[in-house]
């Protein structure tokens, strides 16, 4: 009896120990999932599936781990069996559809999205399903599109590991690779990445010259990659992270290095990084004043969005702006690149495409932004991203499609479209001031800003002694120029490129640069000098602001907002109809009415003075004997 009781006790202890071990192992797996160590999660739950193949929770975490480590193709079978308490059926159906689409199983993908469309009670998920179905319906249109692209694997550069995100500078090709790193990144089970360079002439590389960038750029035990250079080649921005210091995969930031004394300085994080978000895949605009990057920070359109930021001469960034719903989707937008002619390229799994990340180019049609899929053979059912043009009709891109040498491979491409013509439009101008005799003189050291039709700053420029400024502009767009200089009133000027396009059929060269001219005249800031607002008329015997007066006062409002240091007196005058006292009182009420209007629009009261002059100081000659 005692022996049997002892055996039972031992068995219970063993069972309890196994249960405790299983609970402990699962907690560790869930903790690994939380911290983005997806390969460890997959390993654990596959062991669970070996004895419980129908375990919905295990299938879910394997599927999610594959998806979040950029291996969604491998997730289909697991999403199909995913479920259990706390698992969103909507999410499972959506990503099952995306995974099937990534595998080229478009009919099965359509069924998953149709099921989501009819079963979900969440409007946002229904909308996403409808967008995916609309994208699938456009596949025939994409496949029927004639392509002039010719692509080739850059076999002399690629290895059995990952090579991606090429960038060309001064006869050298820079790229990201995991080829020589023994340390394994727990999220993917693959080696960490570093930055490399190789001597190249166009698309011909010299593999014997491949070398990693110095330790001031590369760092051990972290991922380093996706490099971008300013047009002058003196500023480098790249991404670095996955140190394990922050939860999940958000531990990635942008870093900046400067080329000084023939070496790259030690890289420093840039000021637009956010502590709880992922920032990567930087790209400079052709003028070097705008940095584009991808981030999953709060307030975006969905997963990863593309943002822009303005860079000053000290390498400080400001005015971070989401590119909006024309570019960004509820999915992921990454790897922006801006060509010399100002075309924005990017990769997305949210716009209609073949399944995973596809390459797109942004076209402006009648002022509207349109994202156009580059089509096959550049795009495939795999990830296609990281494009770079070293000429208007040729360049590099990245893909992990079948038939490559490793995981991600770099490819070359040539665009053989016989009608391809590239026109670059530039707006050049000069800043002036007026002499006392009303003739113009050049005004140097003036900050000129170019605003788009929405009022967002596209670029800034500080003129030299010659007063010259230059901006990259685009066809059929409306702009505003703002000039600012110490001792002068800030000046706004409108400019449009509408109707100024050059017919492509008249061009003979592949690339043509067109320069448009303008000027900006600033007024000196002088005290005790009156200026008259046009057409500020009040109804007879009234001091109410009518619509005509409001339009003119809004012009003054712009001047006051542009010049926060100035204070003004609002002087009002009347004709001589009525008594002197009546006209004095009426003019004071009219002046105060205009001041009150400006205060309601946000102008500080201490900047405004209302002064009624009645008929004592007429501003127009009185030729009417009745007043």
How many other β-carbons are positioned within 10 Å of the β-carbon of residue 157?
24
My answer on whether omega of the bond before 377 falls inside 30° of 0, hence cis, is: yes
In this prediction, residues 12-23 reach a mean pLDDT of 45
Give the relative orientation of helices 106-119 and 89-102 as an angle to the nearest 10 degrees.
160
DSSP characters over 270-301: -TT--TTS-EEEEEE-TTSSEEEEEE--TTSS
Q: What are phi and psi of 587, to 5 degrees?
A: -65, -35
583/555 Cα distance (integer angstroms): 27
pLDDT of residue 454: 78
- Residue found under tokens 């000021």: 271
Torsion over CA: 77, 80, 82, 88 (sign)? positive
Q: What percent of the chain has pLDDT over 70?
A: 89
Return the residue matching tokens 């192992």: 25
End-to-end CA, the chain: 127
Q: Is the pLDDT of residue 3 over 90?
A: no
Q: What is the DSSP letter of 499?
A: T
- Rounded Cα distance between 236 and 205, Å, is 22
User: Residue 5's pLDDT is what?
Assistant: 46
* pLDDT for the residue numbered 540: 56
Please state which of the ranges 28-37, 247-256, 459-468 shows the lowest mean pLDDT: 247-256
Query: b/e string for 517-528 if b means 16 or more Cβ within 10 A?
Result: eeebebeeeeee
Residue of 540, 609, 613 whose CA lies nearest to 583: 613
User: Contact at 8 Å (CB) between 249 and 68?
Assistant: yes
Would the pLDDT of 521 be above 60? Answer: yes
Domains and CATH numbers, the chain: 30-143 (1.25.40.10), 149-415 (2.120.10.30), 422-522 (2.60.40.10), 527-627 (3.30.1330.60)
* 372 — pLDDT class (breaks 50, 70, 90): very high
Q: Lowest-confidence range among 15-24, 98-107, 167-176? A: 15-24
Start-end of H helices in 421-546: none
* Rg (alpha carbons) of the chain, rounded to whole number: 32
pLDDT of residue 171 exceeding 90, the answer is yes
* pLDDT at position 456: 78
- Give the pLDDT mean for 418-441: 92
**74 Cβ contact partners less than 8 Å away, ≥ 6 residues apart:** 66
Q: Is the pLDDT of residue 244 over 70?
A: no
Lowest mean pLDDT across 336-345, 396-405, 421-430, 549-558: 549-558
16 to 21, 45, 58, 65, 99: CA distances (angstroms): 8, 21, 22, 29, 39
Distance CA 197, CA 166 (A): 9
Q: What is the mean pLDDT of residues 288-307?
A: 92
Average pLDDT taken over every residue of the chain: 86
pLDDT at 313: 67
Rounded to whole angstroms, how far apart are CA atoms 455 and 53? 57
pLDDT band for position 480 (cuts 50, 70, 90): very high
Query: Residue 561 above 90 pLDDT?
Result: no
Residue 106 CB-density burial (10 A; 0-12 exposed, 13-18 middle, 19+ buried): middle
Q: How many CB atoms lie within 10 A of CB 345?
A: 23
Tell me: pLDDT of 258 over 60. yes
The pLDDT score that the predictor gives to residue 417 is 92
pLDDT for 196-224, tens place per residue? 999 999 899 999 999 999 988 998 889 99
Q: Tokens 């990635």: give the residue.
A: 252
At 186, list the tokens: 């727990």
Of 26 and 44, the one with more pLDDT: 44
The model's pTM is: 0.72
CB atoms within 10 A of CB 111: 15
pLDDT tens-place string over residues 69-95: 888 999 999 999 999 888 999 999 999
**pLDDT of 597-621, one tens digit each?**
888 989 888 888 888 777 666 555 4
Listed range (19-23, 49-53, 108-112, 320-324) with the worst mean pLDDT: 19-23
pLDDT recorded at residue 574? 67
Q: What is the DSSP letter of 187?
A: T
pLDDT of residue 627: 36
SS3 147: coil
Q: What pLDDT score was predicted for residue 477?
A: 87
- For residue 134, give every residue at least 6 positions away whose Cβ sits within 8 Å of its Cβ, in sequence order, or none: 352
- Most confident by average pLDDT, 197-201, 238-242, 559-563: 197-201
Mean pLDDT confidence for 327-340? 94
- Tell me the mean pLDDT in the region 324-340: 94
Give the model's pLDDT for residue 289: 82
Say yes or no to pLDDT of 413 above 90: yes
The answer, yes or no, to whether residue 318 has pLDDT greater than 80, is yes
pLDDT score for 23: 59
Rounded-to-integer distance, Cα 280 and Cα 389, Å: 20
Residue-level pLDDT at 144: 83
Phi, psi of 77 (to 5 degrees): -60, -30
Q: What is the dihedral of CA 217, 218, 219, 224, to 10 degrees?
A: 110
> What is the arithmetic mean of pLDDT over 16-44?
73
C-alpha–C-alpha distance, residues 363 and 347, integer Å? 15
């Amino acid at each position: 009896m005692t022996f049997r009781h002892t055996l039972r006790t031992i068995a219970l202890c063993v069972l309890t120990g196994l249960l405790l071990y299983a609970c402990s192992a699962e907690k560790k797996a869930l903790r690994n999932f939380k911290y983005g160590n997806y390969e460890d999660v997959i390993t654990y739950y596959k062991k669970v599936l070996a004895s419980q193949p129908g375990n919905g929770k295990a299938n879910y975490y394997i599927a999610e781990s594959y998806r979040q480590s950029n291996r969604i193709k491998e997730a289909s079978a697991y999403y199909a069996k995913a479920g259990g308490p706390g698992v969103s059926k909507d999410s499972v159906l959506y990503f099952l559809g995306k995974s099937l689409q990534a595998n080229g199983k478009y009919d099965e993908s359509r069924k998953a999205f149709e099921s989501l469309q009819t079963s979900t009670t969440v409007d946002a998920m229904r909308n996403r399903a409808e967008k995916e179905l609309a994208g699938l319906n456009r596949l025939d249109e994409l496949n029927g599109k004639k392509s002039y692209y010719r692509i080739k694997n850059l076999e002399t550069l690629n290895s059995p590991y990952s090579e991606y995100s090429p960038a060309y500078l001064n006869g050298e090709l820079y790229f990201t690779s995991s080829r020589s790193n023994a340390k394994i990144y727990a999220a993917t089970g693959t080696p960490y990445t570093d930055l490399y360079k190789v001597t190249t002439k166009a698309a011909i590389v010299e593999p014997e010259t491949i070398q990693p960038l110095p330790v001031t750029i590369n760092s051990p035990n972290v991922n380093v990659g996706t490099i971008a250079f300013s047009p002058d080649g003196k500023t480098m921005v790249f991404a670095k992270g996955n140190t394990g210091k922050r939860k999940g995969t958000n531990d990635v930031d942008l870093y900046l290095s400067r080329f000084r004394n023939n070496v790259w300085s030690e890289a420093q994080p840039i000021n637009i990084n956010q502590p709880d978000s992922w920032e990567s895949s930087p790209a400079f605009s052709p003028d070097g004043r705008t940095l584009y990057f991808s981030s999953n920070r709060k307030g975006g359109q969905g997963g990863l969005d593309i943002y822009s930021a303005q860079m000053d001469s000290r390498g400080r960034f400001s005015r971070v702006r989401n590119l909006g719903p024309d570019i960004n989707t509820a999915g992921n937008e990454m790897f922006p690149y801006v060509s010399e002619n100002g075309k924005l390229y990017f990769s997305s799994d949210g716009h209609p495409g073949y399944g995973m990340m596809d390459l797109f180019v942004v076209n402006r049609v009648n002022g509207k932004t349109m994202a156009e899929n580059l089509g096959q053979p550049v795009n495939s059912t795999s990830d296609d991203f990281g494009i770079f043009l070293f000429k208007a009709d040729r360049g590099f891109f990245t893909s992990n499609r079948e038939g490559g040498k490793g995981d991600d491979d770099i490819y070359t491409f040539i665009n053989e479209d016989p009608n391809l013509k590239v026109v670059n439009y530039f707006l050049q101008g000069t800043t002036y001031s007026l002499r006392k005799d009303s003739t113009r003189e050049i005004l140097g050291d003036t900050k000129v800003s170019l605003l788009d039709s929405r009022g967002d700053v596209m670029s800034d420029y500080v003129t030299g002694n010659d007063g010259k400024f230059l901006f990259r502009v685009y066809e059929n767009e409306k702009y505003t120029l703002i000039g600012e200089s110490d001792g002068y009133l800030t000046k706004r000027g409108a400019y449009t490129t509408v109707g100024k396009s050059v017919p492509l059929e008249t061009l003979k060269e592949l690339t043509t640069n067109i320069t448009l001219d303008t000027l900006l005249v600033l007024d000196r800031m002088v005290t005790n000098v009156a200026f008259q607002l046009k057409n500020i008329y009040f109804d007879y015997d009234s001091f109410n602001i009518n619509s005509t007066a409001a339009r003119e006062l809004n012009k003054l409002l712009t001047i006051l907002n542009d010049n926060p240091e100035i204070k003004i007196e609002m002087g009002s005058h009347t004709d001589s109809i009525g008594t002197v006292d009546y006209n004095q009182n009426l003019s004071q009420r009219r002046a105060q009415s205009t001041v009150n209007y400006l205060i309601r629009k946000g102008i500080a009261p201490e900047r405004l003075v209302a002064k009624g002059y009645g008929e004592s100081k007429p501003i127009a000659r009185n030729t009417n004997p009745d007043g």
